[in-house]
Amino acid sequence: METRARITAAVRELLAEGSFHETAVEQVAERAGVSRATLYQHFRSRLDLIDAICETFDANPVLQRLRQTVVLPDPDAAVHETIGLSMQFWAIEDAVLAPLYGVEAIDPAAHDLVQRQRADRRSEMQRLAHHLHAKKRLRPGMSERRALDLLMLFTSYETFRELRFSGLTDAQLTKTLQESARTLLLR
Amino acid sequence: METRARITAAVRELLAEGSFHETAVEQVAERAGVSRATLYQHFRSRLDLIDAICETFDANPVLQRLRQTVVLPDPDAAVHETIGLSMQFWAIEDAVLAPLYGVEAIDPAAHDLVQRQRADRRSEMQRLAHHLHAKKRLRPGMSERRALDLLMLFTSYETFRELRFSGLTDAQLTKTLQESARTLLLR
DNA sequence: TAGCGACTAGACACTGTGTCTACGACACTA
DNA sequence: TAGTGTCGTAGACACAGTGTCTAGTCGCTA
């Protein structure tokens, strides 16, 4: 395995264990089986390690599928699937995302990640809201704009976490959100 | 003004400016107009500064009102007011809460705050959900448990932030949540 | 005026970051 | 087999920040 890959793997492990932020670069290198000097040859700084992890999310296939789901001909299915896939993505990456979202305020790399993910999601939800509007499937009184706001809410990582904290399984929380979105948004 | 109060005021300022976490204890003391040694006589550590801030939230009068609102005889009004007051509280303390919630993963004091606020809120929402159930005002098919989950979602700080990010004013986002909760929860 | 409490100045040990230099191991090639 | 470049290592370094400690200052009060 490539040295660089061994290092990022170590970082992912530590993030998933929730201990990355108490861990010195020294220990990260140790876990990766390289010297600290080597680590600094591959990454400019501690923050750069986080940057590298953030870049890996875009490649997730679930995100690719989401892009196609949003414009499903059946709006009902589009909403259902969009929420389902969103929650699936959060569930898969939860262990790594939790510590990253949890340092948003002080880690520029994490902050960038959060902003970028939100912006990407927003443009997808914008497409979905517009789609629902164009097909006249929005509930009476529900504007395209409000539909967008609620879709953002129902597909956010924070919502996923909130419901998980409440003790719901991934299947349960997905169902709760799908049914709520259906009731609120669709005619 | 008391020395201790001057220090906590400085911390609040820095949190509100979003710069507390890049600021050395030295600068905090400087802003408070005291020496670093004095600061360490009042607070055991940097974390202790955050602890002190966290303790101030409980005293917020909006939270006191919330406790009474939950059991309003008119369930419709109870839901409406509960969401309104929750959003009011988040709006008032947003500047200070944002950096605290944003370091949940690495700051034990912030983590404690978040957990405690969630637990408190949960017990209030539990009372509200039970109240709605007992008065038979829950929408058909809406269990008390799911009502609780949705109330937790609709009153969370993260939800407040999500909708604010979407560009909604406090009044708009409150209205959106109140109407959504009404539609979803009440018969 | 002696004592007390609150604040200060400054030194200290310690930990962690990021940089740098010199060195070794290895493969590839002339 | 000697030469060359690449990749990793060891260890020293300057620097910044935390938390502790000691000695000392100042004003107030008995």
Report CA-CA distances (Å) from B37 to B45, B144, B180: 11, 54, 53
What contacts B133, CB < 8 A, 6 or more positions away? B144, B147
**Which residues of A are less than 8 Å from B148 in CB distance?**
166
Residue B1 has pLDDT above 90, yes or no: no
- Asked if the model's pLDDT at residue A81 lies above 80, the reply is yes
- Tens digits of residue pLDDT in B163-184: 999 999 999 999 999 999 999 9
Strands (E), B37-124: none
- For chain B, the residue count is 187
Closest C-alpha to A84, from A153, A163, A161, A175: A175
Residues of B in contact with A118 (CB under 8 A): 165
What average pLDDT score do residues B40-61 get? 95
Distance spanning both ends of chain B, measured CA to CA: 54
Query: Virtual CA dihedral for A89, A90, A93, A96, nearest 10 degrees?
Result: 160
Which pLDDT belongs to residue B6? 97
Going by the DSSP 8-state scheme, the letter that residue A140 receives in this structure is T
Two tokens at B7?
A: 């220090």
Mean pLDDT of B47-68: 94
Residue A1 has pLDDT above 80, yes or no: no
pLDDT digits (tens, 9 = 90+) for A118-146: 999 999 999 999 999 999 999 999 999 99
pLDDT tens-digit profile of B26-50?
999 999 999 999 999 999 999 999 9
> Rounded mean pLDDT of B62-69?
94
Which protein residues have Cβ within 7 A of any strand C atom? Answer: A 24-26, 36-37, 40, 44-47; B 3, 33-38, 41-42
Rounded distance between C-alpha atoms, residue B164 and residue B167, angstroms? 5
A108 to chain B, closest Cα gap in Å: 12
Is the predicted pLDDT of residue A71 greater than 90, yes or no? Answer: no
pLDDT of B113-167, one tens digit each?
Answer: 999 999 999 999 999 999 999 999 999 999 999 999 999 999 999 999 999 999 9
Residue B92: pLDDT above 80? yes
- Integer Cα distance of A47 and A39 in angstroms: 12
Considering only CB atoms, B176 lies closest to which of A146, A173, A183, namely A146
- The pLDDT of residue B71 is 86
**CB of B6 within 7 Å of some strand D atom:** no
pTM assigned to the model: 0.94
CA→C1' distance for A156 and D15 (Å): 41
Q: A114 at the B interface (CB within 8 A)?
A: no
In the predicted model, what is the mean pLDDT of residues B9-34?
Answer: 97
Cβ separation B105–A102 shorter than 8 A: yes
* pLDDT > 90 in chain B, percent: 96
Span A3-58, pLDDT tens digits:
999 999 999 999 999 999 999 999 999 999 999 999 999 999 999 999 999 999 98
Amino acid A13: pLDDT: 97
